[in-house]
Structure 1
Amino acid sequence: MNKLEQLRQRSQVVADTGDIEAIRRYRPQDATTNPSLLFKAAQLPQYRELIAESLAWAERHHGHRDPHNHAAIAQLAAMKLAVAIGAEILQLVPGVVSTEVDARLSFDTRATIDYARRLIALYDQAGVPRERVLIKVASTWEGIAAAAVLEREGIHCNLTLLFSFCQAVACAEAGVTLISPFVGRILDWHKANSGRDDFGAEEDPGVLSVRNIYHYYKSRGYDTIVMGASFRNTGEIEALAGCDRLTISPQLLQELEEDTGSLARGLPTGVDTQPRAARTQGEAEFRYQLNSDAMATEKLAEGIRNFVQDQERLELLLQGQLMGHRETDAATNP
């Protein structure tokens, strides 16, 4: 067996892409999307029809009196497109798809809840049951609070942009379905700030962070799924073989598929059970612990900024499509 086949025997493999062709090729259990991946996917020719349908739908439903409010229409079309691509992906994977809340709402609990409910309503209209969708939310205090409310409503959440132990603890206590600790971005920070560029898999700070979180969850009986994300190389993936789920880019999936060697040992199979701490982590402690971790603070902020930037780029792309369609219609029907 190649390493990808060996990995499937130990972890659920998730495709970190919105590219339908890549998902069709690698047959993952689940798939994850985010604004950056959706922006890339929206530029592929196979999504032209979905974009046109999303824009037409948004023009009918945007609720603004001004039909030329292109920004409002594009923002709504971006939400619809995310669901349309998610629904397409679900025709190819047997499990779930993750769809992200607008990152501009990362510090607004109520707005995050409302946005998530709208995503689930759109999936429902598309005939997709909520059990097959994970709503991705940034692991801010406000995002975790929103996820706690959504989980009680039966809306399952994937807490993303997770870089620190305190974020993982808060997510488990909130009862979220799944967390996505970012392995590669942690490594990026340590390379940039330590003067080292030669971290092996067994000393990779991103790998060690996920191992610590995984052991904490399993030893204390938390049900929250750990899904390693943001990998920079296959060595990181192999070192986390056995983690509940691993979301992997098409490029690294290909590298694993082409490698016929033996998969590294990865995570230990047995975990000693320990009692849960009676005290939960409050907001003040969470913010203090996060602030004390320079890497987590910087990478969380950077991640939100980058997702916002790609969300805005996607909306500008959709505005351009909308204006182009209108100009064509005007020329055809003067």
Structure 2
Amino acid sequence: MNQLDALKQWTTVVADTGDFKQLDAFKPQDATTNPSLILKAVQKPEYAPLLQDTVNQFRDRPLDEIMDRLLVRFGCEILSIIPGRVSTEVDARLSFNTNATVARGERLIELYQAEGIHIDRVLIKVASTWEGIQAAEQLERKGIHTNLTLLFSFSQAVACAQAKVQLISPFVGRIYDWYKKTAGAKWVEADMAGANDPGVQSVKQIYDYYKKYGIATEVMGASFRNVGQITALAGCDLLTISPDLLAVLAANDAPLVQALDASKAQTLDLPHVFFDEAGFRLALNDDAMATEKLAEGIRAFCVDAIKLEQLLLGA
């Protein structure tokens, strides 16, 4: 049994890509996209007609609507291949606007439903800012399920649990990147690998807390830099993995053991935590890594959203 098949025994494997032509090989349950992944995909010749067709059909509509229609077009293609759910992201420029995020999430769902897609097959991706988490809480109350992304801290995970969101995506690789860059020459890769990886430890802390307190929100580790980070999280609810790393797992027959275990987490002595808005903002502010990576992630997604708009305008 290869490591990908072994991982599927304990963890739902999700493909992290906008390139839906790669999906068949790995048989993932779900798939996730974001503006950067869609931008990457539409610049490939095989996807250019899809972008052009969307623009031709809806040229008279506002640019933000054409963008959403393109995202949904990709989502529908992905859903024709996978059995589970696709995550589609709200424009990152709305990350600090609760009402606009709710409105955009509702529109994305309406566009999917117009294509005959059931509401339960879509997760609306929202940045884990305070405003984003409040928007997700409102969307969940309307029966629209959410995936809270750009999540780097325990405080963000607790606030998401309080909001009863469907799923969170803690970013393993970007946490690792920050600690490695901060340590500089002092970083020893071998000492910080596997269970000692700061990104892995962050997800484990969140997973253990959720399972200890029976929190229904799903934990999906995301943003991996190497296979060691993935295997160290075997047993997590879900893991969203790039096609490159899925291929590495599929080609490796080394034994894989379950690393995270809900029944063990329930025996841990962990304090219960609650955050109101002021407490959340202070806790996030106290975490330099999370503060920097959240801001950086939103900026990067905004840049790619603008690039995608330019491609639409030029089509």
Q: Give me the TM-score of the superposition, normalised by structure 1.
A: 0.90
Contact in 1 for aligned 2:208/2:262 (Cα 8 Å): no
Matches within 5 A, 1:298-309: 298-309=292-303
Contact in 1 for aligned 2:211/2:262 (Cα 8 Å): no
What residue is the counterpart of 2:199 in the other structure? Answer: 206
What residue is the counterpart of 2:306 in the other structure? Answer: 312
User: Could you report, residue by residue, the CA deviation over 1:63-118 in whole angstroms, capped at 9, with x for unpaired residues?
Assistant: xxxxxxxxxx3x33221110000001001110000000000000000000000011
C-alpha separation between the residues in 2 aligned to 1:101 and 1:153? 17
Query: Deviation of residue 277 (structure 1)?
Result: 7.2
Query: Deviation of residue 269 (structure 1)?
Result: 5.0
What residue is the counterpart of 2:230 in the other structure? Answer: 237
Q: Helix, strand or coil: the match of 2:214?
A: coil
C-alpha separation between the residues in 2 aligned to 1:124 and 1:53? 20
Q: Helix, strand or coil: the match of 2:143?
A: coil
Unaligned runs of 5+ in 2: none
Query: Deviation of residue 225 (structure 1)?
Result: 0.1
C-alpha separation between the residues in 2 aligned to 1:90 and 1:176? 22
Structure 1: 4+ residue segments shifted above 3 A: 273-280
1:180 to 153, 161, 169: 169
C-alpha separation between the residues in 2 aligned to 1:156 and 1:202? 31
Out of 98-107 and 22-31, give the one that drifted further: 22-31
C-alpha separation between the residues in 2 aligned to 1:278 and 1:235? 30
Q: Does 1:26 align with 2:20?
A: no
Q: Helix, strand or coil: the match of 2:60?
A: helix
Q: Percent identity?
A: 55
Q: Does 1:222 align with 2:233?
A: no
Number of positions where the alignment pairs a residue of Structure 1 with one of Structure 2: 310
Q: Residues 145 and 277 from structure 1, CA distance in 2 versus in 1: closer, same or farther, beyond 3 angstroms?
A: farther
Contact in 2 for aligned 1:57/1:77 (Cα 8 Å): no
C-alpha separation between the residues in 1 aligned to 2:96 and 2:241? 28
C-alpha separation between the residues in 1 aligned to 2:139 and 2:13? 25
Residue type of the partner of 1:53?
A: D
Query: Deviation of residue 279 (structure 1)?
Result: 6.9
C-alpha separation between the residues in 1 aligned to 2:155 and 2:272? 16
Residue type of the partner of 1:281?
A: F
C-alpha separation between the residues in 2 aligned to 1:302 and 1:111? 21
C-alpha separation between the residues in 2 aligned to 1:53 and 1:277? 53
Residue type of the partner of 2:253?
A: T
Query: Deviation of residue 25 (structure 1)?
Result: 1.4
Q: Does 1:40 align with 2:40?
A: yes
Q: Helix, strand or coil: the match of 1:15?
A: strand
What residue is the counterpart of 1:326 in the other structure? Answer: none
Query: Deviation of residue 59 (structure 1)?
Result: 1.7
Q: Does 1:118 align with 2:107?
A: yes
Q: Residues 156 and 173 from structure 1, CA distance in 2 versus in 1: closer, same or farther, beyond 3 angstroms?
A: same
Query: Deviation of residue 22 (structure 1)?
Result: 1.2
Query: Deviation of residue 51 (structure 1)?
Result: 1.1
C-alpha separation between the residues in 1 aligned to 2:84 and 2:53? 25
Contact in 2 for aligned 1:16/1:32 (Cα 8 Å): yes
2:276 to 279, 282, 286: 282
Residue type of the partner of 1:211?
A: K
2:259 to 266, 272, 292: 266
C-alpha separation between the residues in 2 aligned to 1:221 and 1:275? 14
Query: Deviation of residue 129 (structure 1)?
Result: 1.2
User: Could you report, residue by residue, the CA deviation over 1:223-271 in whole angstroms, capped at 9, with x for unpaired residues?
Assistant: 0000000000000000000000000000000000110110144213522
User: Could you report, residue by residue, the CA deviation over 1:108-164 in whole angstroms, capped at 9, with x for unpaired residues?
Assistant: 000000000110010011111111000000000000000000000000000000000
C-alpha separation between the residues in 1 aligned to 2:41 and 2:109? 21
Query: Deviation of residue 36 (structure 1)?
Result: 0.3
Contact in 2 for aligned 1:136/1:160 (Cα 8 Å): yes
Q: C-alpha root-mean-square deviation of aligned residues, in Å?
A: 1.6
2:79 to 69, 72, 90: 90
Q: Give me the TM-score of the superposition, normalised by structure 2.
A: 0.95
